[in-house]
């Protein structure tokens, strides 16, 4: 390489400030005092700054209080009905008035949350247990197990949930909350299996999994300790959305008369009972319907917030 002739042409002047005269900006400093955050720590930090999550959390807390402690909102018995109070307007202690049977609408709206939400929670738990377990095993081990689970899931994918639930519920002599839970979970677990299987397949080829296997860790322990915690994000998001779907499905079945028995106070049965009064100008139908809509909306908003927090590609910067 030819040597550069420093004598030819003008030289560009430059200045080098002493190190003591250079001010270090705050953005140049790295905070090292705190402990490093993991995936869940970053997600929680993201959620606390998301107004959608805060609104959804407040709504869900109110719904949980309605389910666990309905006495905080009303001291009226939702099953006590008197014909003398039929279609009476709102009054002290009865902000929503009475329905045609003389039942307190506000009390039934508050207590109706228990059947709908508990059905949704039970179906969601079985949804995760069955679908998540089969999907994780199929994605991690592959081979024949993966093929069998995938083919069975494809069969259930072809069966409409609402149609199957209506047909089976009509064939049963006794219908309880557990009956609805089992039917809802039986026809939706392939959704959880597919999501979990995809997430596990993506995680099992990571470097930390290879390192764990090289250290002699058993495959089942690698799945439980390393793969599943790093694959739970998509399943958590889908679970919150399906919880709202299960609540709506239970209300729809009760509205059609094939869900929970009439002795159980639920939003769906109250919507069915009060729909005839809507033509007469009575708004009592909108009270359980609004409670149902706000509950489902809160879980959908929670799912959107969790998706933004747990999925780095979907985070808003």
What count of other Cβ atoms lies within 10 Å of the Cβ of residue 152?
A: 15
The pair of three-digit structure tokens given for residue 46, joined into one six-digit string: 């993201």
Does a structural domain hold residue 54? no
Residue ranges making up the domain that contains 247? 61-79+102-314
Does a structural domain hold residue 52? no
- The better pLDDT of the pair 49, 60 is held by 60
Pairwise CA distance, residues 63 & 68, whole Å:
9
Q: Is the pLDDT of residue 49 over 90?
A: no
Our count of domains for the chain comes to: 1
- Mean pLDDT in residue range 235-261: 89
Q: Which of 224, 49, 252, 74 is nearest to 163 (CA)?
A: 252
pLDDT the model gives residue 317: 46
pLDDT the model gives residue 88: 77
- Mean pLDDT in residue range 238-264: 88
Q: Is the pLDDT of residue 23 over 70?
A: no
Scan for tokens 């677990």, then name that residue: 189
pLDDT tens digit sequence for 162-208: 999 999 998 888 888 899 999 999 999 999 999 999 989 988 888 88
- The better pLDDT of the pair 18, 248 is held by 248
What whole-number percentage of the chain has pLDDT above 70? 85
Does a structural domain hold residue 46? no
Question: What is the distance in angstroms between the CA of the first residue and the CA of the last residue of the chain?
Answer: 47
21-29 contacts at long range (C-beta below 8 A, 24 or more positions apart): none
- The better pLDDT of the pair 24, 152 is held by 152
pLDDT the model gives residue 5: 53
Mean pLDDT of the chain: 82
- Mean pLDDT in residue range 279-300: 87
Does a structural domain hold residue 6? no
CA-based angle 111:117:123, to the nearest 5?
Answer: 145
Does a structural domain hold residue 13? no
pLDDT the model gives residue 184: 93
Does a structural domain hold residue 126? yes
pLDDT the model gives residue 17: 60
Axis crossing angle, helix 267-274 with helix 286-310, rounded to the nearest 10: 140
Does a structural domain hold residue 260? yes
User: What CATH number did the domain enclosing 291 receive?
Assistant: 1.10.3720.10
The radius of gyration of the chain's CA atoms, rounded to the nearest angstrom, is 29
Which residues on neighbouring strands pair with residue 91, listed in sequence order? 94
Pairwise CA distance, residues 251 & 268, whole Å:
4
pLDDT the model gives residue 316: 47
Does a structural domain hold residue 18? no
């Amino acid at each position: 390489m030819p040597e550069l002739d420093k004598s030819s042409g003008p030289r560009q002047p430059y200045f080098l400030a002493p190190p003591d005269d250079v001010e270090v900006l705050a953005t140049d400093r790295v905070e090292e005092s705190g402990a490093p955050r993991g995936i869940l720590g970053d997600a929680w930090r993201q959620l606390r700054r998301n107004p959608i999550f805060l609104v959804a959390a407040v709504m869900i807390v109110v719904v949980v209080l309605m389910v666990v402690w309905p006495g905080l909102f009303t001291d009226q018995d939702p099953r006590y009905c008197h014909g003398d109070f039929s279609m009476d307007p709102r009054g002290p202690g009865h902000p929503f008035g009475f329905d045609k049977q003389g039942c307190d609408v506000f009390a039934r709206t508050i207590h109706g949350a228990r059947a709908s939400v508990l059905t949704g929670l039970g179906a969601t738990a079985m949804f995760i247990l069955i679908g998540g377990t089969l999907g994780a095993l199929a994605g991690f081990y592959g081979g024949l197990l993966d093929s069998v689970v995938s083919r069975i899931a494809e069969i259930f994918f072809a069966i409409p949930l609402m149609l199957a639930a209506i047909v089976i519920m009509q064939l049963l002599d006794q219908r309880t909350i557990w009956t609805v839970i089992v039917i809802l979970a039986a026809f939706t677990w392939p959704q959880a299996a597919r999501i979990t299987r995809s997430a596990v397949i993506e995680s099992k080829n990571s470097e930390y999994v290879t390192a764990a296997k090289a250290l002699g860790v058993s495959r089942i322990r690698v799945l439980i300790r390393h793969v599943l915690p790093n694959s739970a994000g998509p399943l958590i998001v889908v679970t919150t959305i399906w919880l709202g779907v299960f609540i709506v499905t239970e209300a729809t079945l009760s509205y059609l008369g094939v869900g929970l028995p009439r002795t159980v106070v639920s939003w769906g049965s109250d919507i069915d009972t009060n729909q005839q009064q809507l033509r007469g100008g009575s708004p009592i139908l909108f009270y359980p319907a609004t409670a149902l809509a706000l509950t489902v909306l809160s879980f959908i908003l929670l799912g959107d917030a969790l998706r933004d927090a747990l999925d780095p590609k979907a985070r808003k910067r």
